[in-house]
Amino acid sequence: MPDFTKQLSKYLPEEAAPIISTWINDTGCRFKVTRSRQSKLGDYRAPYQNQPHQITVNHDLNPYSFLVTTIHEFAHLQTWQRHKNKVKPHGQEWKNNFKNLMDPFLRMGIFPENVQFALIKYMDNPAASSCTDLSLHHTLKQYDTSEKEIITIDSIAINGFFSIKNGRVFQKMEKLRKRYKCLEVSSNRIYLFHPIAEVFPIDQP
């Protein structure tokens, strides 16, 4: 069986690489490191038309985010193996698998103390994405090496203005459950934004 430890060590903590390499071999998974995607950190695709399981993870995640995302996607793979598509994508079956797969890494002490603490809290009720848990997300972001400061919508004041990458301008309004209601200035239409969406603060247009 091929050993992917060396390649994986470029992206995730060295101690975790042999375990993930074993998972890839044991499941016959096609594991891809991909370009950065705004909409997601990773992705799982179930087998189809003689194609194997496929997991993709963004290349630009810091090692701890890369590992958490990888475990998240392998939990999907394990859930599909046991239940196919008969259960919810992030239902109790997935939550249990995620907790079980994460457990050995927590016991090994791979994560820095603040990440370990945030993960243990997150494990009480894992969400669809580590980004959904703002405490865990912000803790993991501390280990990013990018020199560019990333500003997210949750740091914009209510009624403040911001633009997004394509130049569209919005005014931030109140929070509805897990997302912010925002008014697009040019069209007067309402859009919902995730709290960690990357934005660019601007003065009132």
Whether residues 159 and 197 fall in one domain: yes
Res 27 pLDDT > 90: yes
E strands, 95-178, where? 161-163, 169-176
Q: How many domains does the chain have?
A: 2
Q: Has residue 16 been placed in a domain?
A: yes
Task: Please check whether residues 134 and 77 belong to one and the same domain.
Answer: yes
Q: Do 94 and 159 fall within a single domain?
A: no
Residues 89 and 34 in one domain: yes
Claim to verify: residue 133 and residue 183 sit in the same structural domain: no
**What span, in angstroms and rounded, lies between the C-alpha atoms of 77 and 135?**
26
Average pLDDT value for residue range 126-133: 68
- At residue 82, the pLDDT reads 95
Per-residue model confidence (pLDDT) at position 166 = 84
What percent of the chain has pLDDT above 90?
Answer: 64
pLDDT of 28 reads 95
Mean pLDDT to the nearest integer, 141-167: 83
pLDDT for 45-96, tens place per residue?
Answer: 999 988 999 999 999 999 999 999 999 999 999 999 999 989 998 899 999 9
Cβ neighbours of residue 125 closer than 8 Å, sequence gap 6 or more:
95
Q: What are phi and psi of 40, to 5 degrees?
A: -160, 155
Q: Are residues 115 and 173 in the same domain?
A: no
pLDDT of 191 reads 94
CB 127 within 8 A of CB 196: no
Report the pLDDT averaged over residues 95-99.
94
SS3 43: strand
Q: What is the pLDDT of residue 59?
A: 93
Which of 106, 121, 141 is the endpoint of a domain? 141
**54 strand-pairing partners:** 30, 45
- What's the predicted TM-score (pTM) here? 0.76
Residues 130 and 41 in one domain: yes
Q: Let me know the angle formed at the C-alpha of 96 by 78 and 91, rounded to the nearest 5 degrees.
A: 85
Q: Is residue 147 part of a domain?
A: no
Higher per-residue confidence, 131 vs 78: 78
Domain that holds residue 189: 153-202
Mean pLDDT of 20-39: 92
pLDDT at 153 over 60: yes
Residue 59 CB coordination number (10 Å): 14
Point out the domain boundary residue: 141, 171, 194: 141
